[in-house]
Each structure stands twice: as C-alpha cells, then as structure tokens.
A and B are shown apart, each in its own frame.
Chain A
Amino acid sequence: MAGTLVWPAVPLKILYEGEAPPLPYRWVHPPANLPEPNQPPTPGSGTIALTPAGSQSASVLTDDGQAALILRFGAIAPHAGASSVTVRITPLDPATVSAPPSGLRFDGNAYRMEATYNTGDPIALLTSVTPVLRYPKHATMLLRFSSARWTSLETHVVGGSLQLFGPSDRLGVFVAATPPTPAPGPWATYAPVAAAAAGVLATLAALILLRRRRPSPRR
C-alpha cells in the first residue's frame, strides 16, 4: 500500500508475472524473414466521461494489446458543451512518419494517439498522460514525434512483458526505439534453463543423501 502511494501517477506491475509466451508481434510493415505470417495490428478507441474537474481516469487499449494510453483522473480539461472525450490509437509504419534519430533504430510500429471532445474540438491536457507500447525484440527508449522531429521521453522498460512507457505532456505519434545492439546470444535463453535444471539436480541430490543417511529400522 505504502509503495503504491509513492508512485500513484505511473502504471505499475505489482507481482504480475508475464511468463506466458507473448503473442506474435503484429507489424504494419513486417520485416523480412518473419518466422510466421504477419497479422496486421489493430487500432483502438475509447470514450471517457468528462466531469467538472476533467476526465475520468481511464486506459484505452488497442484490440491486440500492443499499445495503450493511460490517463489519470483530470488529465483532460473540462470543455464547454462537452460531456466526453474520444481517444483513438492508430498503428503506423514509423518509417512513413520520419527517419529514426541518428544512432537509433525503431523496434515495432509507431502509434498515433489522438483525442477529441464530443463537440469535435481538440482536447487540452492538464497533466501528463502515459503511452504504453509493446515492443517486439529489444527497446530501451520511447520516442514521440513532435515539432517535425522525434523526441526522447523519460522511459520505463518492463522487460518481463516486453513493454515500455513514459509520461508525455501531449498526444502525438509514439514509437519504441533502441540503439543498434547485437542480438543476445543463445546463453540468454539457455543460462536460466541451465540454472533451474541445476537447482533441481541439487534438490534431488539432497533428497537422495538424506534417504541414505536415514537409519534403517531396528528389527
């Protein structure tokens, strides 16, 4: 409880372990040599009610779960005549937005996140919002395209579920990116399996040794 009060503004994973193998990443523009046929990514949308203090807290997720926008209570300003806000998330090929910044490469789709009042007017943000992107392989940075260039945002990476997120003071187009790094070697897969298997062997050895040491019953 105390810990959650320290970071009430950012999404958190409390305990949840994403051990399930991830669904295959859905690409707008799939890279060559995908191991299985690509499924196109899906957009997402949601309607958020407005209160006199601003928007309700909400999460809007694409149907395939690859992108989301999290809004705290009051993130969107109230607006004369408006009773709700519609949020839309649209997947894009990031290469069609702009080339990546020097020294970086994109990892996954870009997502346009936009919102309008039900009056049709563009929304005004009162506090930062949190875009969440799933990435396919390895990403370390969340970029936002604004003022005709990509801007790096404060990024939190959750490797356990291949997700990253960060606060943004405006909506726009977001993408995950990383410096070009060599792919992790096979040790990254085999080392934890080997450690777990060795632990099982140590446990079995302990059981066998204890059984041998146990005195035989007196006759």
Chain B
Amino acid sequence: MIARGHFVPFLLLPAAILLGCVALAIRPAALGSASFVVVAVGTIGALAPLPAHRDLHPGPVRVFAAVTLGVLAFAAARAITTPLPVPVTTLTVGATIVAAVAEEIFFRRLVYGWLASAGEAVAIIGAAVLFAAVHVPAYGARVFPLDLAAGIIFGWQRWAAGGWVAPALTHAAANMLQLF
C-alpha cells in the first residue's frame, strides 16, 4: 500500500507523465488539436511539482557552451541528410518553436526531474527513450534511434546546464534547421 505522503510522487506524477506521453503519441496528424496537446503537455511539464534534486549551477559560459555544442551536432546531422520539404509559413515556424519548448519542459524538466532521484544517467536515458517513443506513431519507427540520440543530447544539456532552457533553445534551433 502506498503511504499517504507518497501519493503525489508515486501516483500523480507518473500519471501526468503517462498521460502526457500518450497524448503526444496519439496526437492527430497536423490538425489544430495537436497544438492544444502540445500546449497542454508543456503546461504539465511547467507546473508539475518535482522531488528535491540537487542540480548543477553552471555559469553562463558553460550554458552557452552546452547550447553551442548541441546546435553544432544538429547542424552536422542536417548537413548530411535531406530533410523532407515543407512549406515555411509564419504559423509553421511559430508552431515548431512552441512544440520544441513544450516538449523540453515536459521531458527535460518533468520526466528528467522525476527520474533524477535514481541517478543522472537514468534520467538522461529514461527521458530520451520516452521522447523517442512518442514520435514513432507520427514519424515512423525509423526515427526512433535518431530521436533517441537527440534525446540523449538534450538530456546531457539538461545535466550540464542545470536546467531545461539549454535543451529548449537547441531543440528550437534544430527544428529551424529542418525548415530552412
């Protein structure tokens, strides 16, 4: 039986994470309700209370270095692949930035923060696996290893920079590299 004091961390947080992942995985292809799902998942990630965890508190130079290294990795991947062409509109650009930030708040703040009590490596890998898995229904199984690698980079940034802002900036930049 779950002690009353553990009700929140043991039931409600995993439930919120599970529901957020399910919503992301089954979000309808390119419809307006997908935008609602993304914003709601970002809200879950932003509001959820997290277990106490001691983060690194690096200076701005280290945060900048983490973002730069991440962006360079995605730029290199972009240089050797051909992205699927999509029409670039203001709405497309805005939606992809919002999606990037919302996903990073969810996976690198909430999921990472929830798993971090088991160790940083578990948090990085666990968040990356969930991140890759929710993209499979919409983008196919081929993207799983790619998104897993991307998730590990974001998780490393989360650890190295001590917060979700660095992976969010990198994720948004990576999305823009796919558009332009």
Contacts and interface: CB of A to CB of B under 8 A. Distances in A.
A3 B31 contact: no
B140 interface: yes
A74 B13 CA distance: 52
Tell me whether chain B's interface is mostly helix, strand or loop, or mixed: helix
Contact of A15 (B30, B85, B175): B175
Contacts, number: 226
Given A196-B36, A203-B16, A163 B77 contact: no
B16 A6 contact: no
A189 B139 contact: no
Given A160-B30, A162-B29, A23 B83 contact: no
Contacts of A130: 82
B84 A161 contact: yes
Contacts of B13: 206
Contacts of B178: 13-16
Interface string A11-50: 1111111111111000000000000000000000000000
Given A17-B175, A163-B84, A199-B41, A1 B149 contact: yes
A188 B92 contact: no
Interface in A181-201: 188-193, 195-200
Interface string A161-185: 1110100000000000000000000
B5 interface: yes
B8 A21 contact: no
A158 B126 CA distance: 25
Contacts of A7: 81, 142
A160 B138 contact: yes
Interface stretch (A59-67, A78-86, A100-108): A59-67
B56 to A, nearest CB: 25
Interface stretch (A91-99, A116-124, A143-151, A207-215): A207-215
Contact of B137 (A4, A64, A159): A159
Given A21-B30, A197-B40, A202 B15 contact: yes
Contact of A161 (B29, B82, B99, B174): B29
A1 B5 contact: no
